[in-house]
Amino acid sequence: MPDTSDFKERFYISADGLRLYARDYRPDAAATAGRLPVVCLPGLTRNTRDFHPLALLLSRDRTAPRRVIALDSRGRGNSAWDENKANYSLAVEATDVIAACAELGVERAIFIGTSRGGLILHLIAATRPDLLEAVILNDIGPAIEVQGLMQIRDYLNRDRKPVDWKEAADILKETHGASFAALGEQDWREMALALYRDSGGRPVADFDPAIAEALKSVDFSQPLPDLWAQFDRLSRLPLLLIRGANSPLLSKEIADEMARRHSGLILHIAEEQGHAPFLHLGAIPAAIQAFLADCR
């Protein structure tokens, strides 16, 4: 498990009183002077642990270190579960991000949004654009493929409970291995440690089951709502789009339309990865660092 000396654990209170969690990777203030922080938002059922390797890389960069903040959305990781399950919504979670920025003293930042985290950034672009200096979207856009979301619904709602950490890694490899040839055995073990928490020596999925349950009620016979109007609000910002080459959620056609609407969009294809790419593998870290080098 990560050494907690690498970051400071922070808790803050949402607008409706929920106790939420963040990791704050904060180098010496003098080393980061003049550089904005990076704020990381995880996917639907993921948490801050997904960003740990990247956060270490960026916060320890020898030439241009940055403060990195990673957030656990409500109902995930170390953030409290919400009794009102309707609050697991993009709109509510966007207000949580805004509350985190206020609590942690972030007036403006570069944001990384993986999957659902990227959808939240679309809403923030429309409601609090002053927070955004630049955006990195990890395998997400303003429209998503129905088949990809159905796949997520199906594997999240399978009733497979691993008895130990080896089986947890094996289940993940069995489920996602065809799309993630880039991952080695150690990567699958690290994925298990990121997705599950320890409960009496057994791995347990580290999110409120109601989040996965909600996908069962989606009517996939109807068109999914899109966020193109909100995406257009990102057109004034530097934007890096990372797309898994094997992604079922973000198609080439959607990525191409994003590039058409945003003339400055930088597209990076994560080879041998699906949804959502691991940001510390392959050429992705170099692409992120090159992008950040052009940001203040």
To which H or E segment does residue 148 belong? helix 146-156
| Least confident interval from 68-72, 109-113, 155-159 | 155-159
Burial 259-296 (b: 16+ CB within 10 A, else e): eeebeebbebbbeebbbbbbbbbbebeebbeebbeebe
Confidence of residue 135 (pLDDT cuts 50, 70, 90): very high
Q: How many CB atoms lie within 10 A of CB 73?
A: 28
pLDDT of 34-68, one tens digit each? 999 999 999 999 999 999 999 999 999 999 999 99
pLDDT of 83-94, one tens digit each? 999 999 999 999
- Give the pLDDT confidence score for residue 257 in this predicted structure: 98
pLDDT of 145-178, one tens digit each? 999 999 999 999 887 889 999 999 999 999 999 9
pLDDT of 207-234, one tens digit each? 999 999 999 999 999 999 999 999 999 9
What is the average per-residue pLDDT within 184-199?
96
* 249 vs 115: CA distance, rounded Å: 9
φ/ψ bin of 275: left (φ > 0), alpha (ψ from -120 to 50), beta (otherwise): beta
What is the average per-residue pLDDT within 287-295?
97
To which H or E segment does residue 243 belong? strand 239-244
* 43 vs 188: CA distance, rounded Å: 17
Is 192 a residue whose pLDDT tops 80? yes
Is 3 a residue whose pLDDT tops 70? no
Is 1 a residue whose pLDDT tops 70? no
Q: What percent of the chain has pLDDT over 90?
A: 95
